[in-house]
């Protein structure tokens, strides 16, 4: 199977910057998604990277290096409401067509005062 690795927990201070890393297996890779999930709720889409480089969207940015099988999510100007689980999900091409997402275990981010 495809292993997605990301840290289990991170803690950061309100107003600071935090980077959440994710590594994945590159065989059949077709793109990298980041989702935010608050406790008891469904994941919400944050970003999608398919080409190498940095994608910026407001306070959130996501980076991808296809050759290294590496991505990170960068959160700036942290707010208390950013406390959530951040899921890294790699998309893989299915032999029969279509794509399939494999999720990491999620990084539980705690933002403190």
Partner 1 sequence: GAVVSQHPSRVICKSGTSVKIECRSLDFQATTMFWYRQFPKQSLMLMATSNEGSKATYEQGVEKDKFLINHASLTLSTLTVTSAHPEDSSFYICSATSGGAADTQYFGPGTRLTVL
Q: Which residues lie near partner 1 (CB under 8 A)?
A: 31, 33, 35, 40-45, 48, 50, 87, 91, 98-106, 108
Q: Are 12 and 29 in contact (CB under 8 A)?
A: no
- Cβ proximity to partner 1: between 47 and 113 the closer is 47
| Minimum CB distance to partner 1, residue 4 (Å) | 8
- Cβ proximity to partner 1: between 96 and 113 the closer is 96
- Cβ proximity to partner 1: between 41 and 56 the closer is 41
| Minimum CB distance to partner 1, residue 93 (Å) | 10
Separation of alpha carbons 4 and 48, rounded Å = 16
| Minimum CB distance to partner 1, residue 70 (Å) | 19
- DSSP code of 14? T
Cβ neighbours of residue 7 closer than 8 Å, sequence gap 6 or more: 20, 21, 107
- Cβ proximity to partner 1: between 80 and 94 the closer is 94
Tokens of 3: 């292993």
Strand-pair partners of 105: none
């Amino acid at each position: 199977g495809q292993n997605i690795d990301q840290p289990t927990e991170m803690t950061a201070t309100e107003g600071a910057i935090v980077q959440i890393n994710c590594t994945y297996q590159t065989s059949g890779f077709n793109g990298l998604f980041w989702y935010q999930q608050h406790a008891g709720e469904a994941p919400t889409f944050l970003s999608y990277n398919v080409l190498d480089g940095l994608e910026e969207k407001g306070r959130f940015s996501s980076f991808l290096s296809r050759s290294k099988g590496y991505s990170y999510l960068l959160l700036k100007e942290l707010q208390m409401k950013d406390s959530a689980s951040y899921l890294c999900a790699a998309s893989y091409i299915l032999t029969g067509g279509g794509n399939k997402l494999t999720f990491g275990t999620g990084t539980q981010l705690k933002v403190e005062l």
